[in-house]
Amino acid sequence: MIVKAAESDIAEICAIEQKSFPDPWAEALFQDILNNPSQCFYVAKNNRNHIVGYIIFWSIVDEVHILNLCVAPEYLKQGVGSHLLQFCLEFYKGKTISLFSLEVRTSNSAAQKLYEKFGFKGMYIRKNYYPNHEDALVMTFSPCMPK
């Protein structure tokens, strides 16, 4: 089940972020996003109501940027990432969106494969994008174009 993130979810979200990334986002950043009405922040919960992943995205005119999609390590390869990404794409159904975009670590081939499954294509490399100087692959998907 995917629901809007709440203040009470922040600790669980931060724990997942810490386990998932070498340079995790700070709790204050998640708080700011939660309190920013222009950003969409949703969590995936399992049948025991535990958070197993989350997605943060926002739209600017006719483009959507996915800021963060994360799945708890113990729930990888169980469809959670697909479910969250599908949710984001369907969130804008019926609206005129020309482009979805995101950055992904060049070393994260599993995430790249997930995005490719949904029609995203690698466009270019952003050098030293991440705090540890790792490059990012910018990927985009245009719902108006054939996959």
What is the arrangement of strands in the sheet containing 99-105, beginning at the earlier edge strand?
A: 2-4, 39-45, 51-60, 63-71, 99-105, 136-141, 121-126
Residue type, 72: A
> Contacts by 8-14 with C-beta closer than 8 Å and gap 24+?
9/43, 9/51, 9/54, 10/34, 12/50, 12/51, 13/43, 13/51, 13/54
Q: Which listed residue (12, 63, 103, 124) is catalytic?
A: 103
Q: Which listed residue (115, 116, 129, 130) is catalytic?
A: 115
The whole-angstrom separation of Cα 56 and Cα 68 is 5
118 phi/psi in degrees, rounded to 5: -95, 10
* 7 carries an active-site annotation: no
21 phi/psi in degrees, rounded to 5: -130, 145
* 17 carries an active-site annotation: no
Which residues carry out catalysis? 103, 115
